[in-house]
Structure 1
């Protein structure tokens, strides 16, 4: 029973309309039958006991009327005979006219003219004249010489209402109701079922209209309820809800990107202010005469150079983030030899490490020769990761870079002997603008974007990047990339 009820609630609009039509038809037939039964019952109770004349009641009176007229044929055409004749004719059901031999009406109870001439009179004698629902008959009148002296015209109806003038109102009303009730009931039940059906679908449509108005106002904090009135409406509401969710996610991402962009611009502007202020101050010193002091000149130029490099690094990071977050960004992979790639980058990292008196080593394990990457982006990711290790590894420290190729992936492991990461901050390391030490990051030109950029590049390649602290101390960063 529960399953049947569920099916009814989720039936299609077509099924519901067809079902409603059949119910309207069935209820109309049943109501018509009940109405007819009630009319018959009322007739049995109120009419039949009092005597109900048949439809041809007045037609049966015509022979008696004709017999009386024929008995007094010579007097009937006289106007003085009217009162006597009307005592014999039941005028409540039979109308009459007495015509002379010229076809003119002498007297009668009918105003309408049926005979217009003597010739018309003779042509219609003993015949029926059609007049809508009336039966009109014309009978001749003879004088003593057996010549046509005129005619009597009788008009009557063969209906229950005309045969029972006292009960005419009831009979006419019952007849009208009996014949019109199927149409009246069909209209009534169509209206009721239509109103019920419209109420069922009105609510979800109103909710959709209200939802569209909310979306116009950028209000997406709502949800549409499940519709059980029909399968099509449920699909429509479900599709609209999916659109709302997708739109909300899209706008949330857009708003977040906008907020991130504002935050990034503010952060870069803040971080650029320090090196630019230093450059500006040292340049003023040179212009004021420090250029004549060779020792001070060298110190000033070295400071200006370091802060220029720092400013360029910050602007490069800003550009990289903008590129990665652009909706049109896509990775352009190509087959790259793993050993050649590692050796090229390894030699660069060795030189950088030597400048800080840090030992750097790398090793490739495995038999796979190629992997499919965007070489410039992956190189940039490792630049950000390993230069970060070099930055925080003390002099005399050690950095190792191990690469292991497997069946479907290549694993890059970077370990250093630095201070490692703050506890419970492993997941935050790859967030935009995250810096464990604000003062240290600022002096080093770090805007908290390096690991975020590396994380974005790895993810766009379908890989994973993670960061931990080693048990013996130092940072451990793992990057896993697919070979294809």
Structure 2
């Protein structure tokens, strides 16, 4: 459809206003006098042509008004109706086509706004659905350690554990379950914080190597219990980045905890870092079974656990990798999953050295 500017229609309207009365005048003069000779004195010879010219002027105004209604006012009224539909929550609106470029540009902007609102509403609905799913799943996960904790506490209260060894065992299990509960609650809190992104990050200079080393130290006991060898290959220079050190340490804790959890006894975990211009890259490679193709595509989804061997039996709420990815993305970086050519899972990521929110 060919489109014109409003000024083109304005010029055409002026031509019509100027031409149509003159055409009516000349035509009527010829009909009444059989001559178009002007300036000749004839009594009442111009009365009827003047009335015809006035009628032509009225007709010109009518035609211009009709076109203005069709080309300008009609589309604007329908856009106003569409705006009221959107305000009422109905985003399934049809906007009219028009040959006026200015109105068409407004229409295009309106459509962009409607499409943006539709995407925003879909994201909001997905987020709300995900939130309900996460809360339901975590509530389910909380029940298991709570029931176990209550059972062992009841056993202690009722005197089932009679020997010091039995009492020590019951207390150790209670401590383990309470720590599991603490991890679940902390996971839910961090996930919610990352999901809604309401809090500003406490950005400051931090050594990425120190953050990774703290995470390694915090999981030393778990790795020793499985006799896992942890090997580090840090870049020679100290990688200083702008980061929320507490959150980033939480992300690395989750990644390393995941590696320890799925590495077999006597296995190996390799942690590498390197500087790449204005960013720091890292990889965590474990000697476990690796990811299936489905897991590679979905491992960062909330509560996704994949294969049967990667399920609730290993502990956690299934939020660790999701939280780590969102923390790293919040810092301006990225995190991906894959498999090493020699076998085992690989988590690779990078962070900018100078990220500002």
Alignment TM-score > 0.5, same fold:
yes
Flag the structure with larger Rg: 1
Shift in CA distance, 416/369, structure 1 to aligned 2, threshold 3 Å:
closer
Q: Which moved more, 1:341-350 or 1:356-365?
A: 341-350
Shift in CA distance, 17/331, structure 1 to aligned 2, threshold 3 Å:
same
| 2:247 alignment counterpart | 377
Q: Is the 8 A contact 1:368 1:405 kept in 2?
A: no
| 1:78 alignment counterpart | none
Offset at 1:370? 1.8
Q: Tell me, in whole angstroms, the C-alpha distance in 2 between the residues paired with 1:345 and 1:285.
A: 36
Q: Tell me, in whole angstroms, the C-alpha distance in 2 between the residues paired with 1:410 and 1:460.
A: 15
CA-to-aligned-CA distance 1:381-425 (integer Å, 9 cap, x gap): 111111011111122111111111122221111111112112332
What RMSD over aligned residues (CA atoms) do the two structures have, in Å? Answer: 2.5
Secondary structure of 2:152 counterpart:
helix
1:287-306 map, 5 Å: 287-306=157-176
| 2:207 alignment counterpart | 337
Aligned counterpart for 1:215 among listed residues 86, 90, 96: 86
Shift in CA distance, 355/223, structure 1 to aligned 2, threshold 3 Å:
farther
TM-score of the aligned structures, taking structure 1 as reference length: 0.67
- Does 2:309 align with 1:435? no
1:401-420 map, 5 Å: 401-420=271-290
1:343-422 map, 5 Å: 343-367=213-237, 369-422=239-292
Q: Tell me, in whole angstroms, the C-alpha distance in 2 between the residues paired with 1:239 and 1:288.
A: 72
Offset at 1:346? 3.3
Aligned counterpart for 1:476 among listed residues 326, 346, 357: 346
Structure 1: where are the runs of 5+ without partners? Answer: 43-54, 56-158, 161-170
Number of residues of Structure 1 aligned to a counterpart in Structure 2: 350
Q: Tell me, in whole angstroms, the C-alpha distance in 2 between the residues paired with 1:341 and 1:257.
A: 31
Q: Tell me, in whole angstroms, the C-alpha distance in 2 between the residues paired with 1:431 and 1:409.
A: 25
Aligned counterpart for 1:24 among listed residues 13, 17, 27: 17
- Does 2:51 align with 1:180? yes
Q: Tell me, in whole angstroms, the C-alpha distance in 2 between the residues paired with 1:224 and 1:448.
A: 45
Q: Is the 8 A contact 2:71 2:98 kept in 1?
A: no
Q: Which moved more, 1:265-274 or 1:436-445?
A: 436-445
| 2:69 alignment counterpart | 198
Structure 2: where are the runs of 5+ without partners? Answer: 36-40
Shift in CA distance, 259/338, structure 1 to aligned 2, threshold 3 Å:
closer
Secondary structure of 1:396 counterpart:
coil
Q: Tell me, in whole angstroms, the C-alpha distance in 2 between the residues paired with 1:344 and 1:296.
A: 34
Q: Tell me, in whole angstroms, the C-alpha distance in 2 between the residues paired with 1:421 and 1:399.
A: 15
Q: Is the 8 A contact 2:212 2:249 kept in 1?
A: no
Q: Tell me, in whole angstroms, the C-alpha distance in 1 between the residues paired with 2:197 and 2:189.
A: 15
If asked which structure has higher relative contact order (CA below 8 Å, sep 6+), I would say 2
TM-score of the aligned structures, taking structure 2 as reference length: 0.89
Q: Tell me, in whole angstroms, the C-alpha distance in 2 between the residues paired with 1:18 and 1:210.
A: 30
Secondary structure of 1:405 counterpart:
strand
